[in-house]
Amino acid sequence: MPHKITLTGSATGPLREYDRYVAFDMREKGSPSAPKGLKKSTFISYTVFVAKKAFNKTGLTKKSIMHEKFLIQGEPTLDIPIDECPGEVGVICFQITVLPNKNDKEKTESDAKKENKQEASAPSEAQKNTEPTQQEDEQSPVSQPAPKEEKKSAETVQSEAKETPVQEKKAAPSKRELPNQPKGTQDIVRFDEIVVPEAFLNTRPNPEKTQKVIDFVKRTGRLDEPLTIEKGSKILKDGYRRYVVAKTVKMDKVPVVYEYQK
């Protein structure tokens, strides 16, 4: 039965391309303790060999492979030439998976909880607005008879009071017609006006996290957070993943938060 091996971590060296496969080096720390009488292991270096087809499916590139953390499942091999396998152990990869970032996952979950709380609190505010109107309607009837002129004035006041909520109801939908934007949005700007620094263009966001934001946009019709840009120059300061999502789904305008020049 062949040996199975599982590795986690990032590449420690550049990606090397061959005819039908790619290779890169990894290393893992040894066990912190060893049986009495045996020497402790420090770092074990590996050279991983992945078929090009499987590697391309991950969305990794020569640059991103140095920063993303992934999981390798495969088996060790001794049949690779030494010049192609600088690591202490060669590994034939059967499956490679990009691991999600814990910080981004926690942030997405906290944002989802905030949205649920906001949606739950919305009906209570509407009920508060309707309560004074109901109290006014209950207090409006007069127990004592009044002269004709007083009755007319009372009827006029009642008719105005009844018309007021109708006007408020008609005015309310105008707020709903405004774009549904994420919390904290200060402005909405045209997508093509945003200037992206070269430092962002040289990076590649995690494909799984990017897909989650794309699914969120398709489900809600908006980004989960606004982009941060510099006031005036409109240079992108933060939110490159959301910028890529906006470009992917072809958004004409995007929500932003300004970072003022110092």
Q: What pLDDT was estimated at residue 135?
A: 53
Q: What pLDDT was estimated at residue 25?
A: 92
Length of the chain: 262
Task: Please enumerate in sequence order all residues whose Cβ is within 8 A of that of 118, keeping only pairs 6 or more positions apart, or say none.
Answer: 183
Q: Span 5-30+42-99: which CATH code?
A: 2.40.50.1040
Q: What pLDDT was estimated at residue 64?
A: 84
Which residues of the chain are in CATH 3.90.1530.10 domains? Answer: 187-259
Fold observed for domain 187-259: 3.90.1530
Give me the phi and psi of 180, to 5 degrees please.
-80, 105
Q: Which of 248, 241, 236 is nearest to 225 (CA)?
A: 241
Cα 69 from Cα 72, distance rounded (Å): 10
**pLDDT averaged per 10 residues, the chain (length 262):** 83 89 87 77 87 90 86 89 85 90 64 69 53 52 51 56 50 47 88 90 88 90 90 90 91 88 58
Which residues of the chain are in CATH 2.40.50.1040 domains? Answer: 5-30+42-99
Q: How is residue 113 written in tokens? A: 């909880």
State pTM to two decimals. Answer: 0.39
